[in-house]
Chain A
Amino acid sequence: MSRKIYLSLDTTARSRGTDLVAAQVEKKLKAQPELNGKLIRNGSRGMFWLEPLLEISTPKGRVAYGPVAASDVSAILNQQCFDDVIEHPLCLGFTEQLPWLKSQQRLTFARVGVIDPVDVEDYINHDGFVGLTNALAKTAQQLVDQVKESGLRGRGGAAFPTGIKWQTVLDEPEQQKYIVCNADEGDSGTFADRMLMEGDPFVLIEGMIIAGLSVGANQGYIYLRSEYPQAHHILKLAIKNAEKAGYLGQNIAGSQHHFALEVRLGAGAYICGEETSLLESLEGKRGLVRAKPPLPAIEGLFGQPTVVNNVISLASVPYILTHGGAKYRDYGMGRSRGTLPVQLAGNIAQGGLVELAFGISLNQLLQQYGNGTKSKRAMSSIQVGGPLGAYLPSEQWDTPLDYEAFSSIGAVLGHGGIVVFDDTVDMAAQARFAMEFCEVESCGKCTPCRIGAVRGVEVIDKLLAGNNSEAQRQDHLSLLHDLCDTMEFGSLCAMGGMTPFPVRSALKYFPDHFVTPPLNHEDQVND
């Protein structure tokens, strides 16, 4: 048996040069066949500041080296490296023992960065398809009950209880039903869906098959954003391999059940992450948001009952069916059960993926995993939950990661993206950008969002123009607040309804950024 060497094919790992290192490893293995090594391209462990992370399998566990350059390969790869930890400046020790990784609770991401993402056998060797096997022995109602018991809530951001959504679809009379995976991960600062699809696509596929069994659906679609070419490539390959192995198509895993799965690409519209807009897009139309009711669970894709779930929600299901809903529910706090894959992004020294039970505070998380800003300056503001999430000032960083705790301070946890800004940030420019983003990405169906965003940019520009009297300033401010109210309460969906969150939080907690703008306002930022 050949000895295994691992390098990631994850988008971010590749952006840090894993392909160059991989080429060098292949070259070395070819030149020295006596090493008997085999290179496997896997997902990433999520320690992106250590990429390219080279891992070598030894009898004592995998040993990590990083960040590795192509020129380091020759010195690392020798006979000794396959036996144990070796003396090398880039040697980090056993991967599983690295505190950053060891302290996490990786339930959903258990296999990401570990297995070959498109090898069905490797997946099965790591407890893959156990959940599906268990599911095949249960009735649809028992499956839905397991998911309800787990307390799983939609990880896309809206946090709606997954079991209740599934129950609604199950309760619809027998007819064509669909499972749609929302893989339109558009929030800046989030990449958990991408990492999962690139690192362990089978867990998503397994989750979708179980969802199909639970509600009586035999067709699934993954709606993937076009900005993720690598995830697209890997998903297509994984689906093909799952079909070949009998896990997709007719009589899945030798049962009487059928489930077909297809990936469909979006086309660069943020709004298509909103579930009804996504369904319109899948049907081949403009991604205009639908008024609810009817709920997609009752009239969804092509008018049929449809489960629309985020990637992480669906990928959490195999764990629940493997270990039981109660085991999953044991993690977390309050009404936020299980784990949340948090993404550390923006100006942060150790950016990456941290999967933990709900409940840890933002401060603890940053101290334990973030290691300060990349710029070495002080952190000043943190945006949680994507472009529609509030900016949190330092006094709010003790908030625990919990849907309700965030909601109580006017913020959102969303999809778990955490974007750190240092003290050079211009919060007025960030508030303006929130409105500008809404202007670009609004679907245009409802007026508060379509027109409100345009007026929002205008009034912030007037506010920052620098030639206002105090009375004019107050006028602009009150107009802006009024506009935020109109958008929040009058918009059809979260796009217009939540754009005020970043704007209001910037105004409230960073008021001095809006007072005396420097002359070259835009130029101040990050220069």
Chain B
Amino acid sequence: MAVINEQGLQQIAEIIKQHQMLAGAMLPILHAIQNSVAFIPDNAMPLIAKALNVSRAEVHGVVSFYHHFRTEKPGNHVIEVCRGESCQAMGSRTLERAIKSKLAIDYHQTSSDQQYTLEPVYCLGNCACSPAIRIGDDIHGEVDPGKFEQILDALTTYSLELK
């Protein structure tokens, strides 16, 4: 499990302070941390445990239970591929093989250039336009291997604004 530096820890302490008074604050805190630093650092768990008056084991238990929370720094783009039945009916098994082969990684892995992390997801609610993938907060529908390559190209092309 990965850790974060002192500056990151201070940032996390601040996040915990902002949320700890909520009823059932654990998930809101974990979401806020992951949104801020992209993962739940190992050395943040004692801080959460102390703030919520639970054991470190309990914090670890919650983090490890939910698929959404990760304990390693992900790549710049997290690509989630839907494995639900609706997407299967529209060729997602072929798509997931093509994506794995294109990125040369399997699920739960990050590409060696730290660009992409690949995760399975069970339904994005885009089932009228299957198969679907999610990158960041963008959901793409009717994806086939060709469309995936275009999406990938768009991700790596930066538009420069000239002033």
Which A residues are closer than 8 A to B by beta carbons? 11-12, 14-16, 48-49, 185-191, 193-194, 226-230, 264-270, 281-287, 302, 343-348, 351-353, 374, 383, 387, 417, 419-422, 425, 429-430, 433, 437, 440-441, 443, 522, 525-527
Contacts and interface: CB of A to CB of B under 8 A. Distances in A.
A525 B128 contact: no
Interface stretch (B3-11, B22-30, B110-118, B154-162): B22-30
B86 A11 contact: no
B85 interface: yes
B38 to A, nearest CB: 15
Contact of B24 (A188, A189, A190, A283): A283
Given A284-B52, A527-B94, A190 B125 contact: yes
15 contacts: A16-B141, A187-B123, A191-B126, A191-B127, A191-B128, A194-B125, A229-B139, A265-B27, A284-B26, A302-B24, A343-B128, A346-B85, A440-B122, A525-B88, A526-B88
A343 B127 contact: yes
B122 A270 contact: yes
A49 B128 CA distance: 8
Contacts of B82: 188
A64 B84 CA distance: 32
Contacts of B2: none
Contact of B31 (A265, A420, A440): A265
Contacts of A16: 129, 141-142
Interface in B63-91: 65-69, 82, 84-91
A526 B26 CA distance: 42
Nearest to A229: B137
A227 B123 contact: yes
Contacts of A191: 125-128
A11 B27 contact: no
User: Contact size class for B?
Assistant: 35 or more
A51 to B, nearest CB: 8
Contacts of B26: 284-285
B104 interface: no
Contact of B66 (A227, A267, A420, A527): A267
B128 A441 contact: no
A114 B117 CA distance: 38
Contacts of A267: 27, 30-31, 66-69
A404 to B, nearest CB: 24
A430 B87 CA distance: 12
Given A267-B68, A284-B24, A387-B84, A525 B93 contact: yes
Contacts of A281: 27
Contacts of B140: 15
Contact of A441 (B28, B122, B142): B122
Nearest to B34: A267
Interface of B: 23-28, 30-31, 52, 58, 61-62, 65-69, 82, 84-94, 121-130, 132, 134, 137, 139-142
Contacts of B30: 267
A48 B128 contact: yes
Contact of B85 (A11, A188, A527): A188
B129 A12 contact: yes
Contact of B125 (A228, A282, A522): A228
Given A188-B123, A437-B122, A526 B66 contact: no
Given A188-B84, A526-B93, A287 B126 contact: no
Contacts of A347: 89-90
A420 B68 contact: no
Report the 4 A-B pairs with minimum CB-CB distance, sorted nearest first.
A188-B84, A284-B26, A351-B128, A267-B66
A12 B90 contact: no
A288 to B, nearest CB: 8
Given A267-B68, A286-B61, A345-B89, 13 more contacts: A15-B126, A186-B123, A227-B123, A266-B27, A267-B30, A281-B27, A284-B62, A286-B65, A344-B128, A387-B84, A417-B86, A430-B88, A525-B88
Nearest to B62: A286
Contacts of B92: 526
A266 B69 CA distance: 10
A188 B31 CA distance: 24
A518 to B, nearest CB: 14
Contacts of B66: 266-269, 287
Nearest to B123: A188
Contacts of A228: 125
Contact of B127 (A417, A441, A522): A417
B122 A188 contact: yes
B122 A186 contact: yes
Nearest to B132: A15
A119 B140 CA distance: 27
Given A351-B127, A527-B94, A188 B69 contact: no
